[in-house]
Amino acid sequence: MSNVKAMVVACAAALFVMTPALAADQILSGAVASPSGQKLEGVTVSAKLEGSTITTSVYTDTAGVYVFPPLPAGNYRVWAQALGFELNKGSVDLTAARRQNFTLQEIADAERRFRQLPGEMMVAALPDATPQDAHMKKIFMNNCTACHSTSYALQFRFDEAGWNKIIALMKMAPNNGVYPGPNGKPNQIMDRNQKQLAAYLARARGPGESSMKITSRPRPTGEAARAVWTLYDLPLNPDAGIGTKYNTNDGTDWAMGTTSKLGQMPHDGGLGLDGTIYFTLNNPNRSGTIGKVDPKTGAVKYIKADAANGRAAGAHGLTRDAAGNFWFDVNPGRRALGKLDVATDSITIYQTPETMSPLGGAVTMDVDGKGKIWASTPSGAVRFDPVTEKFTEFKSLIPAKAAKGSGQTYGAAGDRDGNGWWAQMAMDTIVKGDVASGKAIEIKLPPVKMDMSSDDRAFYDTVSDLSFNTPVPWSQGPRRMGTDKNANVLWVGNSWGATFARIDTKTMETRIIPFPDPTMQPYHIVVDNKHNVWGNLWTSDRIVKLDPATNKWTLFDLPVRGTEIRHIALLERGDKLSVVMPVYRTNQMGVMTVRSEAELAALKAKAQ
């Protein structure tokens, strides 16, 4: 039945984190230095009220001084850390004291120092001086990052036989990381390169001397050091009720390395116009489709749409419209479009007609400049008019099941003129859904330059199972994208190429813009009202901002390790911008704001 709208009663089960009534907010500050007395800039300092699930993190300035925004009075756990240094813990009662200084000791143990590193730094240290090593490094970056980030694998040491066993298992696993059994089809690229890759990784992360050369990177300075992060812990399992266990390795102590993926959430996220935090639950559960977090208390509530199997209908993508309501994909049995009315916590489901594709692929969605909703399908994208409740379908020129592999859609976005855009990640193709003509227009991205043997290149030309985790070495890998709603520009994050694609939405002119480091892997892109381009670097524990007017890059560090962030969203209210993202692997929701120099100076004066 076409365009059927079904109202789903929103059932809510809440998990509450109680914050007692406390005295007026206080300002916590202090200084961080080395044992020699050297003031340390760019050190991450975090504070968490006892009994709370909310962590606030800031950074030290050029004088080694940090200052928090006003915090509720009470007993806090406070800690400071930086790459190469041991975590130093303290405690402070803000009803009696407001200052906590730290001295950081360098880490003596080489493995602890290594496990601190974000994946980007680990990969950058892999050898690539010869064409063969560069080839293996690219295979690792592109093919070993489907169900985990690079740091999860590289934090361990195995001999060549051990790496062989791991690759033998993982070449059978699709991008969801679920082993299909011994009769599954192996990844052609991993199968061909298994022996060479195992030997390469054993030289780098084997029991003997490592071939890796680690280069330090600067700690946050300037704008990046004025950032404030607020992280909200989410329960590992929404079905377990009050008192659900939280992740024991929550990324707090970097030397513990990248955690195993536990829990059911979150995947995508966003901020409501009132500051409430929303996120999608992508893994099977019985309690929730959408989660929401009270930003003051950390209380978590679940909103459920029923699936045909009796569980909650899962959701993946999420976007906010001008009225503050959220749109997402939802799977009650046939994947559809969902709308969350934030005033009533009710979910409405809109199903595409049977003659059209359901929503699908790695579903992404966006609201275009005309207020229409764009969402990806396996074979292209659909446009939904919230007023008429009608869908329009656009199909890719390359089919979802192509001769070379998967032509499924990955990212989708809408531009300011009401046109849609989507990516076929495995095919290095961007497609425009032109509303005026009703046609799909294709853009092929240029390949990454690679030096390899003629035999290798001939083999890759024969690969027929290209997908989200089986790319050839020269793939760009266009992923989730975003348009500038105040200009005619689409920005695409190319996860394998470590580049942006900048596309003029009218002329289709395409420019490839390299990231500052070839190991940076973007996942999702959004653009603010000042044309700044924001992206999450999912293997780096970082987000990036590019000012296109000046070509200036700003890199913001997350305060936790092994984050594997897959989505980024913005909320702009006046001059205040909040960046929100689900911290996928550590089971948290994160919100970042940046203080102005004047705001920071006023806080420091008040703290003194």
Q: Evaluate whether 491 touches 534 at the Cβ level (below 8 Å).
A: no
Split at pLDDT 50, 70, 90, the class of 265 is confident
Parallel, antiparallel or unpaired: strands 102-103 and 29-33: parallel
Predicted local confidence at residue 180, as pLDDT: 85
Q: Which residues pair with 26 in a beta bridge?
A: 71
Instruction: Give me the torsion for CA of 175, 177, 183, 189, rounded to 10°.
Output: 50
Predicted local confidence at residue 335, as pLDDT: 97
Query: pLDDT tens digit string along 339-354?
Result: 999 999 999 999 999 9
Instruction: Give me the torsion for CA of 184, 187, 191, 192, rounded to 10°.
Output: 150
Split at pLDDT 50, 70, 90, the class of 14 is very low
Q: What average pLDDT does the segment 95-112 reach?
A: 95
Q: What average pLDDT does the segment 43-60 reach?
A: 98
Is residue 72 over pLDDT 90? yes
Closest CA to 155 of 119, 190, 107: 119
Q: What average pLDDT does the segment 112-119 reach?
A: 96
Q: What average pLDDT does the segment 106-112 reach?
A: 96
Split at pLDDT 50, 70, 90, the class of 20 is very low
CA–CA distance, 161 with 156 (Å, rounded to integer): 14
Tokens 């050369």 belong to residue:
213
Where is pLDDT greater, at 179 or 334? Answer: 334
Q: Which residues pair with 484 in a beta bridge?
A: 489
Distances (CA, A) of 223 to 62, 545, 589: 12, 11, 22
Q: Evaluate whether 55 touches 48 at the Cβ level (below 8 Å).
A: yes
Q: What average pLDDT does the segment 481-500 reach?
A: 97
Is residue 279 over pLDDT 70? yes
Predicted local confidence at residue 359, as pLDDT: 97
23 burial via Cβ count (<10 Å: 0-12, 13-18, 19+): exposed
Closest CA to 386 of 410, 414, 345: 414
Q: Evaluate whether 414 touches 372 at the Cβ level (below 8 Å).
A: yes
Where b means 16+ CB within 10 Å and e means fewer, 78-98 reads bbbbbbebbbbeeebebeeeb
Predicted local confidence at residue 24, as pLDDT: 67
Closest CA to 352 of 380, 388, 393: 393
Domains of the chain, with CATH numbers? 127-205 (no CATH), 222-607 (2.130.10.10)
Q: Is the peptide bond before 266 cis (omega within 30 degrees of 0)?
A: yes
CA–CA distance, 331 with 522 (Å, rounded to integer): 27
Predicted local confidence at residue 608, as pLDDT: 82
Helix (H, G, I), strand (E, B) or coil at 587: coil
Beta-carbon contacts of 178 under 8 Å, excluding residues fewer than 6 positions away, are none
Q: Which of 95-99, 155-159, 278-282 has the lowest mean pLDDT?
A: 95-99
Split at pLDDT 50, 70, 90, the class of 261 is confident
CA–CA distance, 186 with 27 (Å, rounded to integer): 56
- Write phi, then psi, for 10 (nearest 5 degrees): -85, 115
Q: Evaluate whether 28 touches 99 at the Cβ level (below 8 Å).
A: yes
Tokens 């009703």 belong to residue:
438
Is residue 23 over pLDDT 90? no
Predicted local confidence at residue 244, as pLDDT: 66
Q: What average pLDDT does the segment 225-249 reach?
A: 86
Q: What average pLDDT does the segment 501-526 reach?
A: 97
| % of the chain at pLDDT higher than 70 | 95
Q: How many residues in the chain? A: 608
Is residue 9 over pLDDT 50? no
Per-residue tokens: 390: 């009608």
Split at pLDDT 50, 70, 90, the class of 146 is confident
Q: What is the largest CA-CA distance in the chain?
A: 73
Split at pLDDT 50, 70, 90, the class of 246 is confident
CA–CA distance, 92 with 316 (Å, rounded to integer): 40
**Mean pLDDT for the chain?**
93
The DSSP-derived string for 52-98 is: -SEEEEEE--TTSEEEPPPB-SSEEEEEEE-TTB--EEEEEETTT--
Predicted local confidence at residue 469, as pLDDT: 84
Beta-carbon contacts of 323 under 8 Å, excluding residues fewer than 6 positions away, are none
Q: What average pLDDT does the segment 447-453 reach?
A: 93
Is residue 410 over pLDDT 70? yes
Q: Evaluate whether 404 touches 387 at the Cβ level (below 8 Å).
A: no
3-state DSSP of 373-421: EEEEECCEEEEEECCCCEEEEEECCCCCEECCEECCCCCEEECCCCCEE
| % of the chain at pLDDT higher than 90 | 86
Predicted local confidence at residue 162, as pLDDT: 98
Closest CA to 479 of 373, 368, 565, 397: 565
Is residue 6 over pLDDT 50? no
CA–CA distance, 377 with 385 (Å, rounded to integer): 16
Query: pLDDT tens digit string along 180-200?
Result: 887 889 999 999 999 999 999
Beta-carbon contacts of 473 under 8 Å, excluding residues fewer than 6 positions away, are 135, 138, 139, 142, 448, 450, 452, 460
Q: What average pLDDT does the segment 6-16 reach?
A: 35
Per-residue tokens: 541: 């524990």
Predicted local confidence at residue 241, as pLDDT: 66
Q: How many CB atoms lie within 10 A of CB 439?
A: 12
Is residue 44 over pLDDT 90? yes
